Amino acid sequence: MRAFAIDAHKQSLHEVDVPEPVVGPQDVLIGVAATAVNQLDEKLREGEFTAILPYRMPLVLGHDLAGTVLRVGEQVQGFAPGDRVFARPRDHRIGTFAERIAVDQADVALAPVSISLADAASLPLVALTAWQVLVVRGDVQPAQKVLIHAGAGAAGSMMIQLAKHLGAQVATTASGKNADFVRELGADVVIDYRTQDFEQELSGYDLVLDSLGGESLEKSLRVLRPGGRAIGIAGPPDPAFARRAGLNPVLRLVIAALSAKIRRRAKKLGVSYEFLLMEASGEQLRTIAGLVDDGTLRPVIGRTFSFDETPQALASMARGGSRGKTVITVP
């Protein structure tokens, strides 16, 4: 079976021949019609998350898929061969840069009926991230003020739409050329990061969604109201994440040290910081599919590549500059 993998961290993605997936009793075997690239794929390739996501090599990358069910395990309920589905396979079972993949039924949902499978493949990771940041963790309520960084990007474009659906007042950072685009998605306030300093323009925010880390995260703390929260998806991981992930005591100490500086600054300002690494959820994807079909959420695809061009797709995403997701179609 054709797939695309890395043999070691920092090496290039390349085509490999891998065995057919083993289908367990709870698994759904899916013929991949389309997949998509994510920053998480590039971070794994670079070896940035080895402490919290240790993978054996060679590693087939890919976290998003849409396709057709080919076979189901004997304990699977709710799916049958021929169903159009989409999924974000759970950590340690990734590998959607392949022709076929076996996914735990708990991570799979029927695809939205109003869009193509290529469009559906753009959704799982970013839509689940948006849902878990804004609904599960953020508990965003109407009229709250939410700042979403990199609003024209893959995660940001989905977060703007969902935050607006929840009734929030949404601010975002974007380049000037993308200002009208993010306003169309629902942004009320647009900060041109090339000519404006969002820290000088914004204040009193209830929640900041940070996908950039570093200086952006530090400055984000200062636009929050007292008691406000910053949730980061680029890191650094925090001790609460380490506990939930069941990491060993040594790794917990390392992670506590990594985030100590930002947590101290947050405490001094009377705000809080937490890290989120999204989790697979077929149940949440079913809700997201409904929001797509009723017109609340729409896929945002910047570029499309063929399966043969998977390495180029990952490289293109890593360079940045594209709106929304980069999708790969699989013959």
28-48, pLDDT tens digit by residue? 999 999 999 999 999 999 998
The domains of the chain, with CATH numbers, are 2-123+299-329 (3.90.180.10), 126-275 (3.40.50.720)
Give the pLDDT band of residue 244 (cuts 50, 70, 90).
confident
Higher pLDDT, 213 or 146: 146
pLDDT at 255: 87
Residues 81-94 pLDDT 10s: 999 999 999 999 99
Q: In this structure, is the dihedral angle defined by the CA atoms of residues 56, 60, 65 and 68, taken in order, positive or negative?
A: negative
In the prediction, which pLDDT does 298 show? 97
**Closest C-alpha among 264, 240, 159, 165 to residue 207:** 159
The closest of 92, 108, 121, 91 to 28, measured between CA atoms, is 108
Q: Are 330 and 34 in contact (CB under 8 A)?
A: yes
Q: How confident is the model at residue 230 (pLDDT cuts 50, 70, 90)?
A: very high
174, β-bridge pairs: 192
What is the widest separation between alpha-carbon atoms in the chain? Answer: 58
**DSSP bridge partners of 231:** 209, 274
- Tokens representing residue 305 in the block: 């590549």
- Residue written as tokens 């367990």? 24
Contact predicate 19/102, CB 8 Å:
no
Rounded to whole angstroms, the Cα distance separating 132 from 157 reads 15
DSSP class of residue 188? Answer: S
Which comes out higher in pLDDT, residue 214 or 184?
Answer: 184
Contact 145, 205 (CB under 8 A): yes
Closest alpha carbon to 128 in 48, 34, 214, 38? 38
State residue 182 phi and psi, 5-degree precision.
-70, -25
User: Helix, strand, coil % (nearest 5) of the chain?
Assistant: 35, 25, 40
β-pair partners for 60: 5
Tokens of 190: 């647009």
- pLDDT by residue (tens digit) across 192-216? 999 999 999 999 999 999 998 889 9
Task: Give residue 49's pLDDT.
Answer: 84
